[in-house]
Amino acid sequence: MNYISLPEIHVTSDTHFGHRNIIPYEDRPFKDVDEMDEALIENWNREVKKDDLVIHVGDLFLCGAKKAEEIAKRLNGRKILVKGNHDSFSKAKYAKMGFDLRNYLYLDDYLFSHYPLNAKMLEVAQSQTDIQANIHGHVHSMTQGLDRGVHFCVCTEHTHYTPVPFWEIKDYYNAGIYLERGETKFAY
């Protein structure tokens, strides 16, 4: 019997491809930027298939356009980039690299943004709409002070430097489990 494999949706944030200084800043376990980039690409492609969708919640590259283009060519899947504070290429340049650039994304009752949005605003939205939570990046390992009832951080440091299936994020959020660096076991 043949089974049809449906595309999956994966989520990640703050990969900082090409950014040497993120390694000591976030204590990433890589000896240099080349090792980090290769590990991020390998992890991405192990999880993301050709027809899958990746929602990258900002700060994709911190390198020149040529290196960014080389890396982008190697990444599997269809890609949406929710613009982060370090995403400085034009919308046309991101499109050329295969990324649909957005400021925000609303999908399946979750609001995706690079920055964590105002908690009070999100609580009001939860009480008056179907919104579940704000899936965001930006803060890396500094999640102290975030409201876990409305915020869900998907920075790559918390997801073993690997995009995570969206269904898994929803399951964790609904179970009250918050991703913390190195503590969470994933289905993959």
Parallel/antiparallel/unpaired status of strands 78-82 and 99-102: parallel
Res. 92: pLDDT tops 80:
yes
CB-side neighbour CA atoms (13 Å) of 175: 9
Q: What is residue 188's predicted lDDT score, i.e. its pLDDT? A: 38
- DSSP-assigned beta bridge partners for residue 100: 80
CA distance 157 to 13: 9
Res. 181: pLDDT tops 90:
no
Q: What is residue 178's predicted lDDT score, i.e. its pLDDT? A: 80
Q: What is the pLDDT of residues 53-78, one digit of tens each?
A: 999 999 999 999 999 999 999 999 99
Q: What is residue 169's predicted lDDT score, i.e. its pLDDT? A: 96
Q: Which residues contact 145 (CB under 8 A, 6 or more apart)?
A: none
Question: Minimum mean pLDDT among 12-16, 91-95, 182-186: which range?
Answer: 182-186
Q: What is the pLDDT of residues 2-49, one digit of tens each?
A: 777 789 999 999 999 999 999 999 999 999 999 999 999 999 999 999
- Complete domains list, the chain, with CATH: 9-175 (3.60.21.10)
Q: Is the pTM of this model over 0.75?
A: yes
Q: Is residue 119 within a helix (H) or strand (E), and if so which, with residue range? A: helix 119-128
Scanning the structure block, which residue is given the tokens 């690409």?
Answer: 41
Q: What is the pLDDT of residues 99-157, one digit of tens each?
A: 999 999 999 999 999 999 999 999 999 999 999 999 999 999 999 889 999 999 999 99
Structure tokens, 96: 């050329």
Mean of all residue pLDDT scores within the chain: 94
